[in-house]
Amino acid sequence: MKDFSSLKNSDHYPVMLNEILEICKPQIGGDFIDCTYGSGGYSNAILSFPKTKVVAIDRDLQTKKYADKTKKFYKNRFSFHSRKFSDLKKIIGSKKKFDFIIFDLGISSMQIFNLDRGFSFNSKSKVDMRMGLNSISAHEVINNFSLKTLNDIFKHFGEERESFNIAKNIIKEREKGPITSTPNLIKIIKRSKKKDLKKKINMSTKTFQAIRIFVNNELSELIEGLINAAELIKIGGKLIVISFHSIEDKIVKFFFSNYSKNKSKVSRYYPDPPEDKTLFENYKNKIIIPTQKEISINNASRSAKLRFVTRSESDFFYPKEFKKKFKHLIDLENRYV
Ligand SMILES: C[S@@+](CC[C@H](N)C(=O)[O-])C[C@H]1O[C@@H](n2cnc3c(N)ncnc32)[C@H](O)[C@@H]1O
C-alpha cells in the first residue's frame, strides 16, 4: 500500500485515502469524478496512476489555486470546475459516464483553520461559515431569522436538545444589538445549555453544525449530488461517499439501500422490488471507518464513515421517493424567515 500521508500540494489530510484507492484500484485506470476536490488529496493520488482521468469540482473558490497546480502537472487528464456538486449533470452533461464518483463531505482543514471564515470555535471574527457560492451567511441567519426557524434549524440539523433555549437567547441578545462575532455566539450557547460534565463534545458543536448545514444547503446539495451521480455512473461503476455526521449518513444509507436489488422487503410474502425501481447492485450496508493509526495522525477523521455502492444495469429513473423521504429537511434549508 502506498503511503500518501506526505503528499505534496495537500494542506488537508485526505481521509481514508488508502481505503478509497483499494476500492477504485486506479492502477487499472478509469474515469473519475472527485466532487469535493479540497486541496486535491484524492485527485492527485488517483492521477499518479497514468491510466486515470479526473474531473474535479469544489464550490470553494479558494481551492482553485490547488487545482491550478494539479492541472499544470496533469494537463490532459485533469479538469476542474468551481461549482456546486448539485450541478454535476449541468457541468458534465449526461452523455459521458464514469467509473467512480467520490464525495468527501464536510469542510476541509483550510476552511476550518482560516479563522476569518468563521467555521471554527477559535474564530474571533464574524460568524460566516460560507463554503462558497452561497446565498446567505451565518451572520444573517443568527441576526435575522425568527425564533421558530432558529429552533427548527438547531433541532433538525444539529439534533440539539436545548434548541429552544438557544434560539430564545439569541433573539433576546438581538434586542440589545446585532450578534457580531463567534465568541458572542458561543457565550449565548453556553448560557442556554445545562452543563453536563460527562459529555465530551464542545457545547457549541451541535449548534455550529446546524448553522453550517443551513448556510451551505448541505443536505439538499447531498441529495441532488447523489441523484446526479447515479445518472452519471457506468454500469458496474462505483459511487463512494464519506460522511461526517449522522444526518448525512442517514441520507446516504437510505439512497443506497432503498434503490439496491436486495432492498429489504416489507414482508417476505412480497415480491422483490421491480427492476425499474433499482439503481444499484445488492447493498450490504457496510460502513468502513478510519484505522486507529489514521485517527492518531488526523483526529478530524474520527467521525468519518465510508459507504459505497455499485451501479446496476437497470436504466436510470428519477428517484422521487428519495426526495420525498427527506422533504422536511429540504424545505427547512429553503426557509428564509
Ligand atoms: C473534506 S473537504 C475534501 C478534501 C479532499 N478530499 C482532499 O483530499 O483534499 C470537502 C470539500 O468539499 C467542498 N464542498 C462541500 N460541499 C460542496 C458542494 N455542495 N459542491 C462542491 N464542493 C463542495 C468544500 O468546499 C471542501 O473543499
Interacting residues of 326 by C-beta distance below 8 A, sequence separation 6+: 219, 223, 251, 254
Instruction: From 7, 32, 44, 59, give the residue whose CB has the most ligand 1 atoms within 8 Å, as the site to mutate.
Output: 59
Q: Which domains does the chain have, with CATH numbers?
A: 17-104+218-325 (3.40.50.150), 121-215 (1.10.150.170)
pLDDT at 201: 83
Amino acid at 245: H
Distance 58 CA to ligand 1 centre (A): 6
Ligand 1 close to Cβ of residue 333 (< 6 A): no
Instruction: Measure the CA–CA gap between 306 and 321, rounded to whole angstroms.
Output: 23
Ligand 1 close to Cβ of residue 30 (< 6 A): no
| Confidence at 270, pLDDT banded by 50, 70, 90 | low
Q: Is 144 helix (H, G, I), strand (E, B) or coil?
A: helix
Distance 221 CA to ligand 1 centre (A): 12
pLDDT at 11: 66
pLDDT 10s digits, 158-174 = 999 999 999 999 999 99
- DSSP letter at 36 equals -
Has residue 269 got a pLDDT over 70? no
Has residue 8 got a pLDDT over 60? no
Distance 85 CA to ligand 1 centre (A): 9
Q: Which pairs count as long-range contacts for 154-157, CB under 8 Å and 24+ apart, including other chains?
A: 154/206, 154/207, 154/210, 156/210, 156/328, 156/329, 156/332, 157/209, 157/210, 157/211, 157/213, 157/214, 157/219, 157/247, 157/329, 157/332
233-243, strands of its sheet edge to edge: 78-81, 52-57, 30-34, 98-104, 233-243, 305-310
Ligand 1: atom nearest CA of 242 is 1
User: End-to-end alpha-carbon separation of the chain, Å?
Assistant: 51
Which of 104, 54, 109, 96 lies closest to 222 in space, CA to CA? 104
pLDDT 10s digits, 48-64 = 999 999 999 999 999 99
Instruction: Measure the CA–CA gap between 23 and 154, rounded to whole angstroms.
Output: 36
pLDDT at 273: 64
- Say what the pTM is: 0.94
Q: To the nearest 5 percent, what fractions of the chain are helix, strand and coil? A: 45, 15, 40
Report the pLDDT averaged over residues 13-41. 98
Which of 19, 7, 84 lies closest to 44 in space, CA to CA? 7
Which of 119, 144, 101, 15 lies closest to 60 in space, CA to CA? 119
Distance 60 CA to ligand 1 centre (A): 8
For residue 207, the tally of other CB atoms under 10 A from its CB is 28
